[in-house]
């Protein structure tokens, strides 16, 4: 594996700047592309996705950047817009209720089934990401169980190593569980902290989102496992940090660290 096999992208959620300004900023950081949020008050809003995505692709291409994925609605309009703009992956997070988990999982599969025809026609992939907090699908094993029956070209997995770490899943195990459907990986980092004092009757814990070198998720072990399996594809740094004032500094440090691992 060489650097040419890996496309480093960044989720641009922290930055609301106009697209030309965003393109220069992200290129100067050293990324190959981005994951674009399709949300209200961002560069491309959901109701304008059909016109906005092709325009965004063109603007960012002027800076040598690609939109490798979006985080947005999973519906036929958005899938069609991604296909038209040449964007291969829509990342999504799935909520399920623990009191009837299997019912919610079955309902989600039925939703996927209704989209298979357009996914097959367009070549766009829905990438389901694990997310640790209630009530989301949080583990690699749960992702495996959700997507295993589908063609990975239609329904794939976006593996987030930080969310795995919060649930106690080691990178090697997580990659093994979802390898057949892996379409993208996320890199960020996190650790648990005590959110109340020792005088409290019951301990409470919070998640501190930190830089790549300093959390529970071992980026080096994740990279080694991916290299061992000859992974070729997108590595997306999600730019999620609890210290909002340090985002620009930390993402610059993290892309340099990530590149050194591959």
pTM of model > 0.85: yes
Which has the closest alpha carbon to 137: 92, 187, 191?
92
Give yes or no for a contact between 122 and 83, defined as CB atoms under 8 angstroms apart: yes
For 170-187, what is each residue's pLDDT tens digit? 999 999 999 999 999 999
- State pLDDT tens for residues 34-76: 999 999 999 999 999 999 999 999 999 999 999 999 999 999 9
Q: Which pair of structure tokens corresponds to residue 241? A: 């940090």
Q: In terms of residues, how long is the chain?
A: 262
The CA distance from 46 to 105, in Å, is: 26
* Residue 198 structure tokens: 């020792």
Q: Which two tokens stand for residue 106?
A: 């079955």
What domains, with CATH codes, occur in the chain? 3-261 (3.20.20.150)
Which helix (H) or strand (E) segment is 55 a member of? Answer: helix 49-61
């Amino acid at each position: 594996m060489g650097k040419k096999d890996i496309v480093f992208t960044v989720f641009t959620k922290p930055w609301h700047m106009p697209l030309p300004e965003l393109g220069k900023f992200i290129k100067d950081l050293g990324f190959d592309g981005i994951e674009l949020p399709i949300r209200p008050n961002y560069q491309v809003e959901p109701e304008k996705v059909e016109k906005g995505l092709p325009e965004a692709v063109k603007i960012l291409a002027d800076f040598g950047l690609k939109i490798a994925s979006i985080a947005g609605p999973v519906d036929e309009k958005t899938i069609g817009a991604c296909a038209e703009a040449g964007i291969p992956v829509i990342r999504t997070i799935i909520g399920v209720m623990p009191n009837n988990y299997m019912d919610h999982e079955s309902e989600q599969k039925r939703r996927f089934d209704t989209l298979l025809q357009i996914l097959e026609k367009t070549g766009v992939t829905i990438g389901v990401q694990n997310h640790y907090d209630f009530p989301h699908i949080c583990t690699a094993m749960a992702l495996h169980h959700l997507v295993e029956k589908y063609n990975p070209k239609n329904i794939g997995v976006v593996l987030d190593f930080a969310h795995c770490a919060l649930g106690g899943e080691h990178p090697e195990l997580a990659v093994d569980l979802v390898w057949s459907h892996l379409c993208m990986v996320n890199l960020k980092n996190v650790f648990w902290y005590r959110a109340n004092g020792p005088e409290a009757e019951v301990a409470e814990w919070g998640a501190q989102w930190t830089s790549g070198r300093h959390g529970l998720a071992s980026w080096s072990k994740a990279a080694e496992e991916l290299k061992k399996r000859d992974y070729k594809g997108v590595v997306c740094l999600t730019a999620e940090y609890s210290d909002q004032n340090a985002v620009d500094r930390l993402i610059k440090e993290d892309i340099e660290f990530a590149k050194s691992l591959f």
